[in-house]
Structure formats: C-alpha cells, structure tokens
Amino acid sequence: MWVENILLAAAAQPATLAEWWAKYGNMLLSAIWATVYMTVVSTFVGYLFGLPLGVVLTVTDKDGLKPNAGIYKILDFICNILRSVPFLILLILIIPFTKMLVGKSYGTTAVIVPLTIAAIPFIARMVESSLKEVDAGVIEAAQSMGASNLQIVWKVLLVEGRTSLLVNATIAMGTILGYSAMAGAVGGSGLGAIAIQYGYNRYQYDIMFVTVVLLIILFQLFTNLGMFISRKLDKRRTGDGK
C-alpha cells in the first residue's frame, strides 16, 4: 500500500522546477516566515524570564553574591523538572493553558507559548553557566570598591559575561528553532509542519528535503549572526585588532 502511495505522489509532482516553485513557493516562503517569527519571539520572551532566573540562580548559589540554599534549591528543582520533559509532551500537556492564553491551541502564535516555556529553564541554565565564568577577581575588586550586589550584577557579571551570554543565546535560538520544527507534529506551523504534512503524510519527499535544507540554512544564519556579534563585543579580541 505504501508503495502505491509513493508512486501516486510521484506522479502528481510538477514536471519542471518552475512549475514546482509556482505550486509550492508561496507555501514555503510563508512557512519560513512563520518559523523565523516563532523562533525569534520565543527566544526574546524566553530571555525576558530566563535571564533574570539565571541571574537569581547565580546570585543565590553557595558561591554567589548572596547565597540562599532555599531559593536556589526551589529554582534548581523547577528548572530540572521542566528541562526533563520532552518538548512534544510539554506541548500537549499545556494545551489548556495555551488555549486560555491565546484563544487556541494550534497555529503560529499558539506554538510560541510552549516554545517559550520550554526555553525559559534552558536559557536560565545557559545564563547561569555564562555568569559563573566571570573571573572571581573582578567581582572581588568591585566589592572592595564598595559596589552593591545589584551594581555587581548589572555592571560586572552581565558586562564581563556578555560574550559568553551571546554565544549561549545563539545556541538557545538554534535549540528553539529545532523545537519549532517538532511542533508541526501536533498542529504547529512553519517548516516543520510542511515537512510532516507533505513530506511524511503525502510521501512528497522532495518537499521534505527542501524543508530540511531550509531549516539548516536558517540555523546557520542564526548561528553565524550570533557568533559575529559575540566576536565584535569580545573585549579580548578588540586589542588584537581583529
């Protein structure tokens, strides 16, 4: 049966590249926009919550500016629980919340909700890792000059760790891009939905191949842009004239 389906799908394909693009081009362009929209917005909103959460985790850790085992353990537990849930399962679990928040549980805007929730603990851990890379001597110097904890966070940790923060933001965006593709399996939109609806369900492997290539291109664009910005802001390279 599946062989017959493949043969029927192949017979229905346009004969030339121009005909193929005329048939599927607008759909793919719309899917690219939806994927970029979901990825960028989810990353931005994820950082609105994940960045402060990562800062609090860093500050309240045993070696932080203001250790607090109770707060750290609670936040650490929440992050670990959320990160341990596979994205597809999380997406299904929070369907009622998504519907309550945006009025529906499917589509481009609706997918942003589970993408953001999945991104927040991941981003928080990345931020925590970046801030803990800051040289302790720089922090001690700021403390000796009478800087408050808030000033140290704002003017030392975030400034000194900005290169690592940007590199990790690039990684986070790439991860969210991958999540957005998986959302196509349960009513999402974008390139992932096109790959599943056409490439898998209708045996149109040419479309699946194109969507995979487009996802790779988007990932490379996000990665190269993030790395370019991080290199420009890396103070260790500015003195070398690079």
Taking the CB of residue 161, how many other CB atoms lie within 10 A of it? 20
The model's pTM:
0.84
Checking if the pLDDT of 114 tops 50, the result is: yes
pLDDT tens per residue across span 194-238: 888 887 777 788 888 898 899 999 999 988 988 888 887 775 554
Domain membership flag for residue 125: yes
Q: Binning pLDDT at 50, 70 and 90, where does residue 118 land?
A: very high
Domain membership flag for residue 6: no
Checking if the pLDDT of 8 tops 50, the result is: no
Domain membership flag for residue 241: no
Percent of the chain with pLDDT over 70: 88
The more confidently predicted of residues 125 and 20 is: 125
The more confidently predicted of residues 172 and 19 is: 172
Tell me the average pLDDT across 91-120. 86
Checking if the pLDDT of 10 tops 70, the result is: no
Domain membership flag for residue 115: yes
Q: Are 50 and 116 in contact (CB under 8 A)?
A: no
Q: Which domain holds residue 84?
A: 14-235
Domain membership flag for residue 1: no
pLDDT tens per residue across span 159-178: 888 888 998 999 999 999 98
| Cα 22 to Cα 134: distance, rounded to the nearest angstrom | 53
CATH of the domain at 105: 1.10.3720.10
Q: Binning pLDDT at 50, 70 and 90, where does residue 61 land?
A: very high
Domain membership flag for residue 31: yes
Domain membership flag for residue 7: no
Q: Output the pLDDT for position 9.
A: 43
Domain membership flag for residue 240: no
The two tokens of residue 137 are: 């001597």
For the chain, the average pLDDT equals 84
| Cα 2 to Cα 8: distance, rounded to the nearest angstrom | 10
Q: Output the pLDDT for position 1.
A: 45
pLDDT tens per residue across span 137-147: 888 898 888 88
| Cα 180 to Cα 33: distance, rounded to the nearest angstrom | 12
Number of domains in the chain: 1
HSE on the CB side for 171, CA within 13 Å?
A: 14
